[in-house]
Amino acid sequence: MNDEPNSGEGGGTVDVLIPLGLDQAYSYAVPEGLALRPGDVVQVPLGPRETVGVVWSLGSGRGGNLKRVTGRVDMPPLDPALMKLVDWVAWYTLAPKGSVLALALRRQPDDTPERPKLGVRLVGAPPARMTPARARAIAAAEGGLLTGKAALAEAASVSMAVIDSLVDAGTFSVEALPRDAVAAMPDPDHAQPVLSEGQAAAAKELVASVQAAAYGVTLLEGVTGSGKTEVYFEAVAQAIRQGRQSLILMPEIALTAQFIDRFEARFGVRPGLWHSAVTGRKRERLQAAIASGEARVVAGARSALFLPYRDLGLIVVDEEHEAAYKQEDGVSYHARDMAVVRGRIENAPVILTSATPSLETRVNAERGRYTHLKLPERFGGRELPTLGLVDLRQDKPERGRWISAALIKAIGDNLEAKEQSLLFLNRRGYAPLTLCRDCGHRFQCPNCSAWLVDHRFRRALVCHHCGHVERRPHECPACHATESLSACGPGVERLAEEVATLFPQARGIVLSSDFPGGTERLKQELMAVASGEFDIVIGTQLVAKGHNFPGMTLVGVVDADLGLTSGDPRAAERTFQVLRQVTGRAGRGERPGRALLQTHDPGHPVLKALISGDPERFYAAETASREAAGLPPFGRLAGLIVSANTAAEAEGHARALARCADAPDGVSVLGPAEAPLAVLRGRHRVRLIVKTTREVNLQDYLRAWLKRGPKPKGSVRVAVDVDPQSF
Ligand code: ADP
Ligand code: ZN
């Protein structure tokens, strides 16, 4: 690539990539006097509009009759590493390069100026008229410190009007509070923990990998409660000491209040937080701080991968096995895999942590591609919970009930001992299906091939796929029978009803993503659970991971078979992971924990491996069966979803595609067949699956195929999903 800036003098041109669903960069002429380099953000005409794009390369052509670049945009240029990442992700996922660029260039158009928060300071003489409330407010402001208005009002137990009246009287002055720092400097020695021997050994290796300042991947595998966070914090501390930046990717950053507290306890300040709820100017400021290198540690959701770090010295992917790392809409990339790619591009070490690593990562570790560090014991000599199965064929709850006698007894004992219990059921809402007992009518989503889920809190029937909501009627819409509607199967809300009947004295709470009041409330309730304010938590996968509930000593899995019955090649792995994670919530505090898993199939290999307490047993069996079937990571997979407004159009296009699949040796194309959600948001979906050996270049094959295949017409769309996570 020619690195001399191109300017208009020689009639130079540049190729500009536009952050829209386009694959190619467009050539523009460079106006005289403007010197451009790759990475520069520019304004260009596109059709009748002006748009922002990035100079991707310098053209060799003459500007002749090309449209001209309008000008440079006042934004830091994309650095070569980030451009390389965009190229790489686009190549790997087959997403249009412009769509990937949009991830890196995401600017929220927000022209509203950031309103400064106001504080008050005691400056003047006492007011002419003194009241008890005023006296309290003045006393609370003693010392002349600048205090937030609301905080002062609260501290003095007075209304805001009292504060305002003292401002009017000249007793208080009003000043803008300093803006929240987006990137305070963490102190690597703020509060160093005393590590156990095993922890110290692992930390030492991680620190060495940061010191080496070279690409390399380490899997930090440690049982729940082994202190993985404390251990990788040592690597982060080392990066801070070296003046370099760290990125900590987390699957669900919005709920990680505990993580942030721990980070602050360790480093004295909060990390820079990047997720979709950080908006507007704050987002812009953080982005600038990341680009300048001022933000030393960023904790973020998967999109943090595309931020413009100035000097990335470490990437941590926390809970690397989490399905949330896979983005399903738009550019379908796996943030863990792309983190490894970014590490390679930046020549930085990558740490993957998990108590239940993905099979891909385990195999990479076993083959020596990744360094494998293990923390086999819980911190502080705590034992892993003892696990037991409840055979539902023998211990059968009565009709309309889901908790077995054995589990009821265990919860009762726990209540008596004043310890907390968690009931885990990975089903949101009240009941997964509602039907009419008289005519058999079932409530289905009008837009999707899915049942509507009864949500009693919201008094609505909801589609979990498209968000369609309707009121739960009083009579059957088909036969008009009244009081004939019946809930089928349990969701967490219904389970909570059962718990309330069984244990009316217990303080129970339902925690799922439907929690009223949104993320903030949910965060508070998770803290309340941690501090022991509830006896029984009824929760979905939301409570299964990451959280530390010291008083939790019993975990009851209501339906351990849920998830094992799907035809998904990852069903066993996912179930193993979620069950090991959720049972790992028990016994993290002073007292030992136990878990009971209700099942109809106690002989299932996944459950047997889980009960044995030896994860190697599961990994060995699962590795063997994947290898025998040629499934990832031993073979490669991609899904092609063909969707259209009608089933006929979708099927027609998929069949035409299949006819020119031309699969060479090592490639098989399966389908077309109805996709698992045959209708989603009103679109009919048909799927083709491509399975190849590892030797085949899957991306090259897919590109060539789509190129020779028919072009989608009318409402037809083809979405490619490389390495699909679920089927
Ligand atoms: P994991 O992520 O492996 O499940 P955590 O990092 O959450 O484990 O640690 C579990 C608990 O043990 C946390 O409360 C943590 O603060 C505590 N802990 C772990 N290691 C140490 C240590 N070396 N000193 C003090 N507390 C520790
Ligand atoms: Zn729907």
DSSP of 533-551, one letter per residue?
--SEEEE-GGGTSS---TT
User: DSSP state, 482?
Assistant: B
Which residues keep their CB under 5 angstroms from ion ligand 2? 445, 447-448, 463, 465-466, 468
Please tell me the least confidently modeled range out of 7-11, 206-210, 663-667.
Answer: 7-11
Amino acid (one-letter) located at 483: E
Q: Tokens at residue 303, please? A: 């999109």
Amino acid (one-letter) located at 374: K
Amino acid (one-letter) located at 91: W
Nearest to 249 by CA among 361, 353, 132, 346: 353
- Write down the pLDDT at residue 178: 67
Q: 3-state secondary structure string, 390-427?
A: EECCCCCCCCCCCCCHHHHHHHHHHHHCCCEEEEECCC
User: Residue 112 pLDDT > 60, yes or no?
Assistant: no
Amino acid (one-letter) located at 368: G
439 is in an annotated binding site: yes
- Atom from ligand 1 closest to the CA of residue 195: 23
For the chain, what are the domain ranges?
12-83+95-105, 118-176, 197-375, 386-432+489-625, 636-722
Mean pLDDT score, 250-275: 86
- Write down the pLDDT at residue 2: 46
Centroid of ligand 2 to alpha carbon of 679 (angstroms): 8
User: DSSP state, 304?
Assistant: G
User: Residue 606 pLDDT > 90, yes or no?
Assistant: yes
- Write down the pLDDT at residue 4: 58
Could you give the maximum distance between any two Cα atoms of the chain, in Å?
93
CB neighbours of residue 161 within 10 Å: 10
**Whole-prediction pTM:** 0.87
Q: Whose CA is nearest to atom 20 of ligand 1?
A: 227
| Beta-bridge partners for 637 | 691
User: Residue 53 pLDDT > 90, yes or no?
Assistant: yes
Centroid of ligand 1 to alpha carbon of 193 (angstroms): 10
- Write down the pLDDT at residue 245: 98
Return the higher-pLDDT residue of 404 and 253. 404
Same fold for the pair 197-375 and 386-432+489-625: yes
Q: Tokens at residue 574, please? A: 């996912």
Residue bearing tokens 């080496």: 212
Centroid of ligand 2 to alpha carbon of 509 (angstroms): 28
Q: Whose CA is nearest to atom 11 of ligand 1?
A: 225
- Write down the pLDDT at residue 116: 63
Per-position DSSP letters for 646-657, written without gaps between them:
SHHHHHHHHHHH
CB neighbours of residue 474 within 10 Å: 8
| Beta-bridge partners for 93 | none
Q: Whose CA is nearest to atom 22 of ligand 1?
A: 195
Is the CB of residue 104 less than 8 Å from the CB of residue 82? yes
Per-position DSSP letters for 586-636, written without gaps between them:
TT-SSS--EEEEEES-TT-HHHHHHHHT-HHHHHHHHHHHHHHHT-TTSEE
Mean pLDDT score, 573-583: 93
Centroid of ligand 2 to alpha carbon of 561 (angstroms): 25
Residue bearing tokens 């669903």: 21
User: Residue 1 pLDDT > 50, yes or no?
Assistant: no
CB neighbours of residue 382 within 10 Å: 19
Compute the mean pLDDT over every residue in the chain, rounded to the nearest whole number: 91
Centroid of ligand 2 to alpha carbon of 443 (angstroms): 11
Q: Whose CA is nearest to atom 5 of ligand 1?
A: 227
8 confidence band (pLDDT: 50, 70, 90): very low
Please tell me the least confidently modeled range out of 168-182, 467-481, 619-633.
Answer: 168-182
Q: What is the CATH number of domain 12-83+95-105?
A: 3.40.1440.60
CA–centroid distance for 451 within its chain: 26
Percent of the chain with pLDDT over 70: 95
Q: Tokens at residue 221, please? A: 């595998």
Q: Residue 223 CA: which ligand is closest?
A: 1
User: How is domain 636-722 classified at the CATH fold level?
Assistant: Alpha-Beta Plaits (3.30.70)
The verdict on the CB of residue 230 being under 6 Å from ligand 1 is yes
253 confidence band (pLDDT: 50, 70, 90): low
Supply angle C-alpha 698, 704, 707, rounded to 5.
Answer: 135
Q: Is the peptide bond before 672 cis (omega within 30 degrees of 0)?
A: yes
Nearest to 597 by CA among 321, 430, 457, 395: 395
Q: Whose CA is nearest to atom 17 of ligand 1?
A: 227
| Beta-bridge partners for 122 | 172
Q: How far apart are CA 356 and CA 578, in angstroms?
A: 9
- Backbone phi and psi for residue 261, each to the nearest 5 degrees, phi listed first: -60, -45
- Would you say the C-alpha torsion 620, 625, 626, 628 has a positive or negative sign? positive
Centroid of ligand 1 to alpha carbon of 201 (angstroms): 15
- Write down the pLDDT at residue 127: 87
Q: Tokens at residue 475, please? A: 């009579």
- Write down the pLDDT at residue 18: 95
User: Residue 291 pLDDT > 70, yes or no?
Assistant: yes
- Write down the pLDDT at residue 180: 63
The verdict on the CB of residue 199 being under 6 Å from ligand 1 is yes
CB neighbours of residue 420 within 10 Å: 28
- Write down the pLDDT at residue 544: 82
Q: Environment class of residue 66 by beta-carbon count within 10 Å: exposed (0-12), middle (13-18) or buried (19+)?
A: middle
The verdict on the CB of residue 193 being under 6 Å from ligand 1 is yes
- Write down the pLDDT at residue 5: 62
Among 266, 548, 581, the mutation site with the greatest number of ligand 1 atoms within 8 A of its Cβ is 548
**Segment 395-443, tens digit of pLDDT:** 999 988 999 999 999 999 999 999 999 999 999 999 999 999 999 999 9
Residue bearing tokens 């199965």: 389
Mean pLDDT score, 645-649: 96
Q: How far apart are CA 594 and CA 382, in angstroms?
A: 12
The verdict on the CB of residue 325 being under 6 Å from ligand 1 is no
Nearest to 88 by CA among 236, 265, 306, 249: 306
- Write down the pLDDT at residue 114: 56
Please tell me the least confidently modeled range out of 59-63, 610-614, 679-683.
Answer: 59-63
CB neighbours of residue 283 within 10 Å: 19
488 is in an annotated binding site: no
Q: How far apart are CA 207 and CA 267, in angstroms?
A: 16
Q: Residue 262 CA: which ligand is closest?
A: 1
The H helix count followed by the E strand count for the chain is 19, 30
Is the CB of residue 42 less than 8 Å from the CB of residue 16? yes
CB neighbours of residue 186 within 10 Å: 23
Which residues have a Cβ under 8 Å from the Cβ of 483 and sit 6 or more positions away?
A: 474
Is the CB of residue 702 less than 8 Å from the CB of residue 664? no
Q: Is the peptide bond before 193 cis (omega within 30 degrees of 0)?
A: no
| Beta-bridge partners for 590 | none
User: Residue 330 pLDDT > 90, yes or no?
Assistant: no
Q: How far apart are CA 382 and CA 132, in angstroms?
A: 54
- Write down the pLDDT at residue 563: 86
Among 230, 260, 322, 384, the mutation site with the greatest number of ligand 1 atoms within 8 A of its Cβ is 230
- Write down the pLDDT at residue 505: 95
Task: Region of 706 please: left (phi>0), alpha (psi -120 to 50) or beta.
Answer: alpha
| Beta-bridge partners for 59 | 13
Percent of the chain with pLDDT over 90: 70
Return the higher-pLDDT residue of 328 and 716. 716
What are the strands, taking DSSP E only, across 457-591? 460-462, 469-471, 485-488, 508-511, 536-539, 552-557
11 confidence band (pLDDT: 50, 70, 90): low
533 confidence band (pLDDT: 50, 70, 90): very high
- Write down the pLDDT at residue 555: 97
Q: Tokens at residue 314, please? A: 């470490």
The domain 197-375 having CATH identifier 3.40.50.300: the answer here is yes
The three-class DSSP label of residue 15 is strand
CB neighbours of residue 479 within 10 Å: 12
Nearest to 239 by CA among 268, 213, 204: 213
Q: What is the CATH number of domain 386-432+489-625?
A: 3.40.50.300
Mean pLDDT score, 370-397: 94
Mean pLDDT score, 346-362: 96
